[in-house]
């Protein structure tokens, strides 16, 4: 049996394949009460097929897996509209304080006034930052925040007898969650084109805008990293037609301390704590997606919101609340980190974040534009979108460029999004990257551009130095294997 690749085949052995019957990784005290009769066997399970490992094996296994991951703590991670900024370590320490982790959501409110104070202040500061009127911290992620916001709009319109507004407008550059959210709320989705400047095409908007439109969902700056200077006019257009303006706040990092959604005419906005507010991404969560609304929508916020009465902090249900969106109050463990972040930044720090985020992205733009096609030739905000079209003409696709970046030690940017840019490369550096890191990244992309010219194979066959090569995604989808199963025979 060959030992080369197989020995490195970590993926072939799961916890189920390790260990031995009888090994344990835990210790529990014996039962200290008289045992009750167990129910009849017909109600009990006959076997439980979980691993049996020693603690040593378990720790080594998971640590070996962790080493296969690239993360923000490993290096530059410029995913567009994800704001992969550094996650301050002090936040981990604070979020793990027993005075926070040990709180049961249903214990008497008098015993959790510190937690409620934290949430109350965070609600207030998100209102201050966004220039709206009231916040709920309940939604579990950006997508759930969107769902909450769109449901609130739906309920608000229904109360006004305007159920006839059955359509939601979404720009062609929108993140997929936007139309998916609108559909989950029972709206028909209509796409509005972007113009040649990358802004919402106001002609297209005007033709799509009639009395059947409930709202326009806009990301600002948009997914091209561009700020639409006509935002005020767009808000006016919508409001004149009785429609509402929903804000996807994913890109708030560009506007912190500089501009507020409320001032620009947004009616309701969701925010992403795991993007703008530095909470860790966790490999795909947990995030947190608070919703902030103008006064006319505030009564529809999900329950509960944190309020104050004479005695202290309380949990309240807004008078026309759309109801609960989760079992309890939101991702408190994530909110603690966001709170700590805002206490660290203060008002002055907000501007530093947006200033540096925008400078960094424009620097990347300046360094890469000689080699990569810039579809929208203007200043970007906190992220920049290039097209790999020049390289494709040489036979090398954005996908290949992304894989080759891995060999240079970087996580690739977002690719093939937004959909309106061909062979898109969407780069968001964030403010927590140094000039040297940006230079190294740009140098790598320029080198890859040269490789595309001179030795395209090395790009097309990348990555060469990752823990594993390109994976067969077609077979994974055609003949899905989605769980471990015990091998029959010796499994060779």
Partner 1 sequence: MPSPSDRRYTKEHEWVRVEDKMGTVGITDYAQDQLGDIVYVDLPSVGTQVKQLEKLGEIESVKAVSDLYSPVSGELVEVNQGVNDRPELVNQSPYEEGWLVRVRLADPAELDNLLTAKQYDELIAQAQET
Partner 2 sequence: MTLPYIPNTQADRQAMLAAIGVASVEELFADIPAEFRIGELGLPPALSEPELVRELSALGGRNQPVDDMPCFLGGGAYRHFIPSVVSEVIGRSEFATAYTPYQPEISQGTLQTIFEFQSMVCELTAMDVANAGMYDGASALAEACLMAAAISGRRRIALLSTVHPHHQAVVRTYAFGRGLAVDVMPPDDLALSGEHACLAVQQPNFFGYFLPDVEALERAVHAAGALFIVSADPISLGLFRPPGEYGADVVVGEGQSLGSPLNFGGPYLGLFACRQQYLRQMPGRIVGRTSDAQGRTGYVLTIQTREQHIRRERATSNICTSQQLVALAATVYLAAMGKQGLRQVAELCYHKAHYAAQRIARLPGYSLAFDGLFFKEFVMRCPQPPSEVNRALLERGIVGGLDVSQYVENGLLLCVTEMNTRDEIDRLVEALAAIGGGA
Q: Which is nearer to partner 2, 56 or 393 (CB)?
A: 56
User: To the nearest whole angstrom, how small is the minimum distance from the Cβ of residue 416 to partner 1?
Assistant: 8
Q: Which of residues 190-209 bind partner 2 (CB under 8 A)?
A: none
**What's the CA gap between 335 and 340, in Å, rounded?**
8
Q: Which residues partner with 215 through β-bridges?
A: 168, 244
**What's the CA gap between 19 and 53, in Å, rounded?**
4
User: To the nearest whole angstrom, how small is the minimum distance from the Cβ of residue 306 to partner 2?
Assistant: 11
Q: Which is nearer to partner 1, 479 or 486 (CB)?
A: 479
Closest CA to 271 of 290, 256, 247, 251: 290
Q: Which is nearer to partner 1, 363 or 416 (CB)?
A: 416
Task: Collect all residues with Cβ–Cβ distance below 8 Å to 114 and sequence separation of at least 6.
Answer: 99
User: To the nearest whole angstrom, how small is the minimum distance from the Cβ of residue 471 to partner 1?
Assistant: 11
User: To the nearest whole angstrom, how small is the minimum distance from the Cβ of residue 479 to partner 1?
Assistant: 9
**What's the CA gap between 213 and 163, in Å, rounded?**
10
**What's the CA gap between 284 and 398, in Å, rounded?**
24
**Residue 56 contact among partner 1, partner 2, none, beta carbon within 5 to 8 Å by kind:** none
Asked if 152 interacts with partner 2 (CB under 8 A), we say no
Asked if 395 interacts with partner 2 (CB under 8 A), we say no
Asked if 147 interacts with partner 2 (CB under 8 A), we say yes
Position among 78, 80, 81, 118 found at the interface with partner 2 (CB under 8 A): 118
Helix (H, G, I), strand (E, B) or coil at 400: helix
Asked if 260 interacts with partner 2 (CB under 8 A), we say yes
Task: Collect all residues with Cβ–Cβ distance below 8 Å to 317 and sequence separation of at least 6.
Answer: 303, 304, 305
Q: Which is nearer to partner 2, 294 or 411 (CB)?
A: 411
User: To the nearest whole angstrom, how small is the minimum distance from the Cβ of residue 447 to partner 2?
Assistant: 19
Asked if 278 interacts with partner 2 (CB under 8 A), we say yes
**What's the CA gap between 290 and 126, in Å, rounded?**
9
- Residue pair 151/297 in contact by the 8 Å Cβ criterion: no
User: To the nearest whole angstrom, how small is the minimum distance from the Cβ of residue 403 to partner 2?
Assistant: 7
Scan for tokens 């996580």, then name that residue.
411
Position among 241, 352, 389, 460 found at the interface with partner 2 (CB under 8 A): 352
**Residue 488 contact among partner 2, partner 1, none, beta carbon within 5 to 8 Å by kind:** none
Q: Which is nearer to partner 1, 267 or 423 (CB)?
A: 423
**Residue 7 contact among partner 2, partner 1, none, beta carbon within 5 to 8 Å by kind:** none
DSSP secondary structure, 233-251, as one string: HHHHHHHHTT-EEEEEGGG
Closest CA to 235 of 258, 264, 195: 264
Q: Which is nearer to partner 1, 408 or 416 (CB)?
A: 416
Q: Which is nearer to partner 1, 6 or 478 (CB)?
A: 478
**Residue 450 contact among partner 2, partner 1, none, beta carbon within 5 to 8 Å by kind:** none
Scan for tokens 């220039």, then name that residue.
131
Asked if 328 interacts with partner 2 (CB under 8 A), we say yes
- Say how far residue 15 (Cα) sits from the centre of its chain: 29
User: To the nearest whole angstrom, how small is the minimum distance from the Cβ of residue 413 to partner 1?
Assistant: 17
Residues of this chain that bind partner 1 (CB under 8 A): 416, 473-474, 477-478
Q: Sign of the C-alpha dihedral, residues 63, 66, 67, 68?
A: positive
Residue 450, burial from CB neighbour count under 10 angstroms (0-12, 13-18, 19+): exposed
Please give the radius of gyration of the chain, using alpha carbons only, rounded to the nearest integer: 26
Cα atoms in the 13 Å half-sphere on the side-chain side of 320: 16
Asked if 323 interacts with partner 2 (CB under 8 A), we say yes
User: To the nearest whole angstrom, how small is the minimum distance from the Cβ of residue 197 to partner 2?
Assistant: 10
Asked if 489 interacts with partner 2 (CB under 8 A), we say no
Mask 211-250, x = binds partner 2 (CB under 8 A)?
---------------xxxx-xx------------------
**What's the CA gap between 331 and 310, in Å, rounded?**
27
Lay out the sheet containing 134-136: strands in order across: 134-136, 291-293, 268-270, 244-248, 213-219, 167-171, 188-192
Q: Which is nearer to partner 2, 9 or 453 (CB)?
A: 9
What does DSSP assign to residue 110?
A: G
Q: Which residues partner with 200 through β-bridges?
A: 194
Asked if 164 interacts with partner 2 (CB under 8 A), we say no
Q: Which of residues 40-59 bind partner 2 (CB under 8 A)?
A: 42-46, 48-53, 55, 58-59
| Number of amino acids touching partner 2 (CB under 8 A) | 205
Residue 54, burial from CB neighbour count under 10 angstroms (0-12, 13-18, 19+): middle
**Residue 434 contact among partner 2, partner 1, none, beta carbon within 5 to 8 Å by kind:** partner 2
Q: Which range, of 171-179, 201-209, 290-298, 451-459, touches partner 2 by CB under 8 A?
A: 171-179
């Amino acid at each position: 049996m060959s030992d080369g690749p197989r020995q490195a085949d970590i993926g072939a052995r799961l916890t189920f394949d390790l260990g031995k019957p009888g090994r344990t990784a835990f210790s529990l005290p014996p039962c200290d009460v008289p045992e009750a009769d167990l129910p009849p066997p017909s109600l009990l399970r006959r076997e439980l097929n979980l691993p049996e490992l020693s603690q040593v094996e378990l720790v080594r296994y998971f640590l070996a897996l962790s080493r296969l991951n690239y993360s923000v703590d490993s290096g530059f991670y410029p995913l567009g509209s994800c704001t992969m900024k550094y996650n301050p370590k002090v936040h981990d320490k604070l979020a793990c304080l027993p005075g926070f982790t040990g709180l049961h959501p249903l214990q008497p409110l008098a015993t959790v006034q510190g937690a409620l104070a934290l949430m109350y202040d965070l609600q207030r500061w998100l209102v201050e930052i966004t220039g709206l009127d009231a916040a709920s911290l309940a939604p579990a992620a950006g997508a759930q925040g969107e769902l909450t916001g769109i449901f609130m709009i739906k309920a608000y319109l229904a109360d006004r007898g305007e159920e006839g507004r059955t359509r939601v407008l979404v720009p062609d550059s929108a993140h997929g969650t936007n139309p998916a959210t609108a559909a989950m709320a029972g709206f028909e989705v209509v796409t509005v084109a972007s113009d040649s400047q990358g802004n919402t095409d106001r002609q297209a908007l005007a033709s799509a805008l009639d009395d059947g439109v409930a709202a326009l969902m806009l990301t600002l700056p948009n997914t091209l990293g561009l700020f639409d200077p006509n935002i005020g006019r767009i808000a006016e257009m919508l409001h004149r037609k009785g429609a509402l303006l929903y804000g996807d706040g994913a890109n708030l990092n560009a506007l912190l301390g500089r501009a507020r959604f409320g001032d620009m005419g947004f009616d309701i906005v969701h925010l992403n704590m795991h993007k703008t507010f530095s909470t860790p991404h966790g490999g795909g969560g947990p995030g947190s997606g608070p919703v902030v609304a103008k006064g006319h929508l505030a009564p529809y916020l999900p329950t509960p919101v944190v309020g104050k009465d004479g005695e202290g902090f309380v949990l309240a249900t807004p008078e026309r609340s759309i109801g609960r969106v989760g079992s309890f109050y939101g991702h408190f463990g994530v909110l603690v980190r966001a709170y700590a972040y805002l206490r660290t930044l203060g008002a002055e720090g907000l501007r530093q974040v947006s200033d540096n985020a925008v400078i960094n992205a424009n620097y990347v733009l300046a360094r890469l534009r000689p080699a990569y096609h810039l579809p929208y030739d203007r200043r970007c905000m906190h992220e920049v979108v290039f097209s790999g079209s020049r390289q494709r003409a040489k036979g090398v696709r954005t996908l290949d460029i992304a894989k080759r970046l891995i060999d240079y030690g970087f996580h690739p940017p977002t690719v093939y999004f937004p959909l309106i840019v061909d062979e898109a490369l969407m780069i968001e550096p964030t403010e927590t990257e140094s000039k040297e890191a940006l230079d190294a990244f740009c140098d790598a992309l320029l080198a890859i551009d040269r490789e595309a010219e001179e030795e395209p194979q090395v790009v097309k066959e990348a990555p060469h130095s990752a823990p594993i090569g390109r994976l067969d995604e077609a077979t994974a989808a055609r003949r899905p294997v989605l769980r471990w199963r015990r091998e029959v025979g010796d499994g060779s």
